[in-house]
Amino acid sequence: MSTAPVEVEVKGLVPTPTGCGVFLSDGHKTITIFVDHSVAAAITMFLHGIKKPRPLTHDLIANIMAGLDIRVQKVVINDLQEDTFFARLYLVQENELGRHVAEIDARPSDSMAIALQQRCPIYVAATVWAQTEDMTWALEQAQANAQEPDPDDDPNDEPEVDP
């Protein structure tokens, strides 16, 4: 088994009653990490390049990092304990004093949002990748459901008008 982390991409989000499932894939296997609705909204906005009228929390973080000449090098989802994922942000600051790399503990949800915003890679530690079930089938099912027309939506129906 390789010990190298697996680079993944966000392939989709599926709403759940308590949040949202985020599908991460390397092209062969897909895993799911569940996040709350607010971070799912941020992830969706970053995925689709939606501009916000005012900075939200992840935008504030990006503005602070930019003001300190810090960039996100990568995100690593590095641990899984009792169905809870853990992640690390790798931040780089380069200035006249040299190059400094900081490793910061962060929630995977925030880490994924920041990675998408900053266009940096997302990795999953090999040990975590090996522990997780392949959820490719669930992603494919969610994508198929998203493409199926709603049987209640007849394009020939006239809109209802209240008298």
More confident: 146 or 142 = 142
In a domain, 27, yes or no: yes
* Residue 154 belongs to a domain: no
**Contact by Cβ (8 Å): 130, 77:** no
The pLDDT-based confidence of 161 (bands split at 50, 70, 90) is: very low
- pLDDT attached to residue 105: 97
Report, as an integer, the average pLDDT of 65-77.
95
Q: Is the dihedral of CA 142, 44, 49, 31 positive or negative?
A: negative
What was the pLDDT predicted at 85?
Answer: 97
Domains contained in the chain, number: 1
* Percentage of residues in the chain having pLDDT higher than 70: 90
For residue range 117-137, list pLDDT tens digits in order: 999 999 999 999 999 999 999
Residue 89 lies in a domain: yes
Residue 1 lies in a domain: no
**CATH code for the domain in which residue 102 is found:** 3.10.690.10
**For the chain, the helix, strand and coil percentages under 3-state DSSP, each to the nearest 5:** 30, 35, 30
The residue with greater pLDDT, 157 or 124, is 124
Specify the pairing of strand 19-25 against strand 30-35.
antiparallel
User: Which helix (DSSP H) or strand (DSSP E) does residue 139 occupy?
Assistant: helix 136-147
Residue 56 lies in a domain: yes
Asked whether residue 141 is assigned to any structural domain, the reply reads yes
Which residue range forms the structural domain that includes residue 103? 6-147
Q: Is 74 domain-assigned?
A: yes
Q: Is residue 54 part of a domain?
A: yes
Residue 115 pLDDT exceeds 80: yes
Q: Write the CB contacts of 80 (distance below 8 Å, at least 6 apart in sequence).
A: 86, 128, 131, 132
Please give the model's pTM, rounded to 2 decimal places: 0.84
